Chain A
């Protein structure tokens, strides 16, 4: 009986300790970040969707050599690349070579050699960000570091189409 009462008193004391802690926290400042007025500060380490990088000499031209490795490794099939062989004057008439979505590139078993011999011109580099799983495999596997992560975190859109990015246009648009 006495033991029970003692135990209960200790228990009641534990309740008061609890109140003390929450009471103290009550007077401490907020820890939340209020988005439109404030923003989080560590976005520099965030890895968003991918973005093409430009060449050093000509930042409007993508570094990409159109090897298709990124599209091939992408687990979600969200990269879509089209290009044509340079020199053929009208790009719209030549047959475009597709890489990516739904096109499986047979694996030759040989080590990859960037096809520097033939000049290629990039027509389309699309990213369907709806599907992207942000794994970073594409960036890691690009042989010429032609893609990087953007820091785009404040994304909002009205439809799925808003997240189908034309990366080539983005590269040219942002300069």
Chain B
């Protein structure tokens, strides 16, 4: 088995299958988790009726989505409309490839020197899909939602990149496994050296994944459902799954970059990685169920007036210190 896995092609295929399974499973777990968190914060039990403690609720929801008819609105651009969910979902699978889930080489889908770049590049494709939904749906709400999504993603990619860059400066590598390797032992975690970069990264990541309080593209009180207004059944399901998968991606990258990846006080291993990822997800959910939504111009203001200057400053300081140390 090990021998088989060392053949790159087989390794990648196995990894892709595993990633797909992981995404699917995660969708189920995260939907359940999100609804439970929302419920507990609001002093109610959340899903409760299907299965013990409502554990089977997301499965039932998924089956319901699968069973629904797929409809497209009159006058929609069929090609754009139907390909958008796929384009939204497909790149996320690639994003998982370079993420080191555990210490053994087998737990990374594909060792890449430019792994970090790959993740950032492929996660950018999602915007393209949103753009297509906006144009293809022939719906004004979708159009507005897509317009918001595009400018939001474009703006927030900059501080995200700059924050990531400061870590890359520090470690001198874009390989996620190497970055994790470089922070063995809790005190060496980059979050302690680069707290500002972590905060900037996390805020930008929240905005990149369209999570509340930055969920403007799908602000339901303004745009009904935003870009996915016209999608039904599994096409909606794909958007939904992709959204959760992207959340996992950004949290995984945050874990790898700032929180020491699979490194932990005792028993290094992938459980530490998963634990940290889920803890970050919990924080994202906690945000969502606490805050109101920001307005569009405020969102861009936060980015241009605060995050970008701060991240540039952080980058300069990092560079300065690196020079000093060497």
Instruction: Report if A and B touch in the complex (beta carbons < 8 A).
Output: yes
Residues on A facing B (Cβ under 8 Å): 8, 15, 18-19, 21-23, 25-32, 34
Indicate if the CB atoms of A31 and B44 lie closer than 8 Å. Answer: yes
Dominant secondary structure of chain B at its interface with chain A: loop
Please, which residues of chain B bring their CB within 8 A of the CB of A21?
Answer: 290
Q: Provided the pairs A23-B286, A34-B48 are in contact, do residues A15 and B43 lie with their beta carbons within 8 angstroms? A: no
Indicate if the CB atoms of A32 and B290 lie closer than 8 Å. Answer: no
Min CB distance A131 to B, Å, is 34
CB-contact partner of A15 in B44, B48, B291, B306, under 8 A: B291
Residues on B facing A (Cβ under 8 Å): 37, 40-45, 48, 286-287, 289-291, 306
Please, which residues of chain B bring their CB within 8 A of the CB of A27?
Answer: 40
Q: A19-B286, A21-B290, A30-B43 known; 13 other A-B pairs, CB under 8 Å?
A: A8-B306, A15-B291, A18-B291, A19-B290, A22-B289, A26-B41, A28-B43, A30-B44, A31-B43, A32-B43, A32-B44, A32-B45, A34-B45
Please, which residues of chain A bring their CB within 8 A of the CB of B45?
Answer: 30, 32, 34
Please, which residues of chain B bring their CB within 8 A of the CB of A23?
Answer: 286
Indicate if the CB atoms of A18 and B44 lie closer than 8 Å. Answer: no
Please, which residues of chain B bring their CB within 8 A of the CB of A28?
Answer: 43
Compute how far the CA of A31 lies from the CA of B41 in the bound complex, rounded to whole angstroms.
Answer: 11
Please, which residues of chain A bring their CB within 8 A of the CB of B286?
Answer: 19, 22-23
Min CB distance A11 to B, Å, is 11
Q: Provided the pairs A18-B290, A18-B291 are in contact, do residues A26 and B44 lie with their beta carbons within 8 angstroms? A: no
Compute how far the CA of A84 lies from the CA of B273 in the bound complex, rounded to whole angstroms.
Answer: 84
Please, which residues of chain A bring their CB within 8 A of the CB of B42?
Answer: 25
Min CB distance B322 to A, Å, is 27
Min CB distance B212 to A, Å, is 12
Please, which residues of chain B bring their CB within 8 A of the CB of A15?
Answer: 291
- Chain B residue nearest in CB terms to A24: B41
Q: Provided the pairs A8-B306, A18-B290, A18-B291 are in contact, do residues A25 and B44 lie with their beta carbons within 8 angstroms? A: no
Please, which residues of chain A bring their CB within 8 A of the CB of B44?
Answer: 30-32
Indicate if the CB atoms of B291 and A26 lie closer than 8 Å. Answer: no
Indicate if the CB atoms of B41 and A25 lie closer than 8 Å. Answer: yes
Min CB distance B211 to A, Å, is 15
Please, which residues of chain A bring their CB within 8 A of the CB of B306?
Answer: 8
Min CB distance B295 to A, Å, is 14
Compute how far the CA of A51 lies from the CA of B306 in the bound complex, rounded to whole angstroms.
Answer: 68
Min CB distance B284 to A, Å, is 12
Compute how far the CA of A25 lies from the CA of B43 in the bound complex, rounded to whole angstroms.
Answer: 7
Compute how far the CA of A28 lies from the CA of B48 in the bound complex, rounded to whole angstroms.
Answer: 17
Please, which residues of chain A bring their CB within 8 A of the CB of B48?
Answer: 34
- Chain B residue nearest in CB terms to A36: B49
- Please name the 5 residue pairs, one residue from A and one from B, whose CB atoms are nearest each other, closest first: A31-B43, A22-B290, A32-B44, A26-B40, A22-B41
- Chain A residue nearest in CB terms to B283: A19
- Chain A residue nearest in CB terms to B44: A32
Please, which residues of chain A bring their CB within 8 A of the CB of B290?
Answer: 18-19, 21-22
Please, which residues of chain B bring their CB within 8 A of the CB of A32?
Answer: 43-45
Q: Which of A18, A22, A28 has the most CB of B within 10 A?
A: A22
- Chain A residue nearest in CB terms to B302: A8
Min CB distance A5 to B, Å, is 10
Min CB distance A26 to B, Å, is 5
Min CB distance A15 to B, Å, is 7
Q: Which of B43, B45, B306 has the most CB of A within 10 A?
A: B43
Compute how far the CA of A8 lies from the CA of B305 in the bound complex, rounded to whole angstroms.
Answer: 12
Min CB distance A73 to B, Å, is 42
Compute how far the CA of A8 lies from the CA of B290 in the bound complex, rounded to whole angstroms.
Answer: 18
Min CB distance B151 to A, Å, is 23
Please, which residues of chain B bring their CB within 8 A of the CB of A18?
Answer: 290-291
